[in-house]
Copies of this chain bind each other. A is one copy, B any other.
Amino acid sequence: MQLRAHRFVAAIMACTITSLSAFAQSMTPSREQMPEGSVAMETNINQHSYPRLMPDNSIIFRLRAPEAQKVQADICGVKYDMKRDDNGVWTGQTAPQVPGFHYYSLVVDGVSVNDPASETFYGCGRMMSAVDVPEKDLDYLTIKDIPHGKVSTLNYYSKVTGSWRTLCVYTPPTYDANSDKRYPVLYIQHGGGEDHRGWMQQGKTNIILDNLIAEGKAEEMIVVSANSNVNAGMGGYRWEGMQAFRAELVDNVIPFIDKTFRTVADREHRAMCGLSMGGGQTFYIGLRGLDVFSSVGIFSTGMFGGINGAAGTDLDKEVPGLLSDAASFNKKLEAFLITCGEQDPRIEHNKRVAAEMQSHGLKVKFESFPGDHEWQPWRKSLHSFAQMLFKAK
């Protein structure tokens, strides 16, 4: 047994940094009784017992920080004080959380930091800890024993940034086996403070598409998630501010994808959607680019208002003819969907804009889902939008 213990130390020492305490700090001894009915979060790093989901959807966080003066858990805009025990381990329990994916931080003496027990996700402009509270009776976010597609990470050279950049691509289950088949492509955009990884990791795009395809509810399609952070400050939500990312997506990403994958390289087999900031990009680049895309999905965007001070948008000016010549747009659009979370302050503005479009005869569908400005409504938006795509034969 002594040999075994020594070898375990050797294994851990693959890291030369001295952080054994970090490794161990929320690995609960097996003798400890866990709260009844509680489970470790799916987003925990290997073997960590905390953070822990309680039956009422409250979450218990833990951090070992013997020298800290104050530790809080900061989740969904609320800070919860954590309490220190005699060993310097801080524990805190939140109010019940709504189902879905929530970024969180632990606040140690005023500094927002990651929880060492959590996987990290790029959100809020940095790598963030997160928990994913399962939603009862929603089974399409679960991996099932069905054919699975693949998520690939690729580098391409961007003439916009003058550098190698990274994007993610989902290819559907039959892609590798059917070497003659060509596939339509959905270009899907993340929100502000996120990047190309968002839809594949937080969004569970591969799981949603695998399940839809297995059920025969969606066509097999490639899904491409590019990084829209092409210029500092992001250029704002106007057509002029969109030029850099339009060039990135339309002149760099799409030709790279059409060259690298077996796509059907025409507008009928290309769609675009995005969430929040990505919804604004989709409004401009998608609706002003119907020679490139045939379907458009705008999820939870703030560009129509709902964020403190954000002005509305003159739809017919920003996308010329969108209202005054709705018939032309209807002819070109196979699917046009606007969605928003029902607790998202942006919802009234998205509703209003959809109604305004409809009153001018534009064929746009509006859908809402329970939830604030978070991933659960966005996952549901993709689940809905993907079923509308590429149906025309």
Residues of A within 8 A of B (CB): 3-19, 21-23, 45-47, 63-69, 74-77, 103-105, 108-114, 116-120, 122-128, 143, 145, 148, 150-155, 157, 164, 176, 179, 191-195, 229, 232-238, 241, 260-262, 275-277, 280, 302-303, 307-311, 372-374
Q: Which 5 A-B pairs have the closest CB atoms?
A: A67-B110, A11-B192, A14-B191, A179-B179, A10-B302
Contact at A238–B4, with CB atoms within 8 Å? yes
Q: Which residues on the B side are within 8 Å of A3 (C-beta)?
A: 236-238, 311
Q: Which residue of B lies closest to A116 (CB)?
A: B126
Chain B nearest CB from A145 CB (Å) reads 7
Contact at A23–B125, with CB atoms within 8 Å? yes
Q: Which residue of B lies closest to A71 (CB)?
A: B111
- The majority secondary structure among interface residues of chain A is loop
Q: Which residue of B lies closest to A46 (CB)?
A: B229
Q: How many copies, total?
A: 2
Q: Say yes or no: A17-B104 contact (C-beta < 8 A), given A7-B310, A68-B109.
A: yes
Interface centre among A8, A11, A47, A309 (most CB of B within 10 A): A11
Partner of A8, one of B22, B47, B234, B262: B234
Contact at A124–B15, with CB atoms within 8 Å? yes
Complex A-B: 14 CB contacts under 8 Å: A4-B236, A4-B237, A6-B310, A10-B302, A11-B237, A13-B307, A14-B275, A22-B105, A22-B126, A46-B229, A64-B111, A65-B109, A152-B153, A179-B179
Knowing that A15-B193, A113-B114 are A-B contacts, what are 5 other residue pairs whose CB atoms are under 8 Å apart, sorted by A's residue number? A3-B237, A11-B192, A11-B237, A22-B105, A145-B157
Q: Which residues on the B side are within 8 Å of A47 (C-beta)?
A: 229, 232
Separation of A265 and B126 alpha carbons in the complex (Å): 42
Contact at B45–A302, with CB atoms within 8 Å? no
Chain B nearest CB from A361 CB (Å) reads 28
Q: Which residues on the B side are within 8 Å of A277 (C-beta)?
A: 10-11, 14
Contact at A103–B192, with CB atoms within 8 Å? no
Partner of A14, one of B67, B235, B276: B276
Partner of A13, one of B109, B128, B192: B192
Contact at A17–B126, with CB atoms within 8 Å? no
Q: Which residues on the B side are within 8 Å of A119 (C-beta)?
A: 127
Contact at B45–A127, with CB atoms within 8 Å? yes
Separation of A14 and B191 alpha carbons in the complex (Å): 6
Q: Which residue of B lies closest to A11 (CB)?
A: B192
Separation of A303 and B280 alpha carbons in the complex (Å): 55
Partner of A373, one of B16, B194, B241, B276: B16
Q: Which residues on the B side are within 8 Å of A311 (C-beta)?
A: 3, 6
Contact at A46–B16, with CB atoms within 8 Å? no
Separation of A46 and B228 alpha carbons in the complex (Å): 11
Q: Which residues on the B side are within 8 Å of A15 (C-beta)?
A: 103, 123-125, 128, 192-193
Contact at A108–B105, with CB atoms within 8 Å? no
Contact at A236–B111, with CB atoms within 8 Å? no
Contact at B16–A76, with CB atoms within 8 Å? yes
Contact at B69–A124, with CB atoms within 8 Å? no
Chain B nearest CB from A195 CB (Å) reads 7
Q: Which residues on the B side are within 8 Å of A276 (C-beta)?
A: 10-11, 13-14
Separation of A311 and B4 alpha carbons in the complex (Å): 10
Separation of A112 and B143 alpha carbons in the complex (Å): 34
